[in-house]
């Protein structure tokens, strides 16, 4: 849903004629677009900084299209590192969107460390299926 830009962000809802407040649920400063939610918001930037550091990737977070193209071009193959980073990237997108929905619909806010812990848990669970060959 995120890659083809089908998430019901405020920006997308407005294009459909549904009127809602247009500010980001995490930072409250900019319009809520896919690119802002996942890479432009101060909250998501903080999440990505931790995740990229944990994955030993030195990268400044840009906009959605830049980051998706970078990830697609850089992380090809079947190495353990590539597999783990793919899982971490997808889990980060999922957990950032989940946090946005918690704030929007439940009025619950978690901190960056809690979201990162959720991402780590997803990576841990998904990576247990890997068999390391000698």
Going from N- to C-terminal start, the domains of the chain cover: 10-127
CA distances from 68 to 3, 7, 75, 107, 126 (A): 8, 16, 11, 30, 21
On the question of pLDDT at 14 being above 70, the answer is: no
pLDDT score for 16? 59
pLDDT score for 9? 67
- Joined together, the tokens standing for residue 90 give 């997808």
CA distances from 118 to 25, 46, 71, 96, 122 (A): 19, 14, 21, 10, 6
Of 124, 89, 88, 76, the residue nearest 2 (C-alpha): 89
Of 95, 91, 92, the residue nearest 110 (C-alpha): 95
Q: Model pTM greater than 0.85?
A: no
Of 113, 106, 100, the residue nearest 27 (C-alpha): 100
| Span 77-120, pLDDT tens digits | 888 888 888 899 999 999 998 998 898 889 999 999 999 999 99
Give the confidence band of 10 by pLDDT, cuts at 50, 70, 90: low
For residues 59-72, average pLDDT: 81
């Amino acid at each position: 849903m995120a890659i083809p830009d089908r998430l019901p962000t405020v920006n997308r809802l407005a294009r459909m004629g549904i009127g809602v407040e247009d500010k980001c649920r995490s930072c409250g400063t900019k319009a809520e677009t896919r690119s802002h939610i996942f890479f432009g918001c101060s909250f998501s930037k903080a999440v990505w900084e931790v995740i990229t550091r944990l994955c030993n990737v030195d990268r400044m977070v840009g906009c959605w299209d830049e980051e998706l193209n970078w990830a697609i071009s850089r992380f090809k193959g079947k190495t353990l590192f590539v597999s783990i980073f793919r899982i971490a990237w997808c889990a980060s997108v999922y957990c950032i969107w989940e946090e946005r929905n918690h704030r929007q619909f439940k009025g619950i806010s978690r901190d960056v460390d809690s979201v990162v812990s959720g991402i780590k848990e997803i990576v841990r669970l998904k990576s247990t299926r890997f068999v390391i060959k000698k």
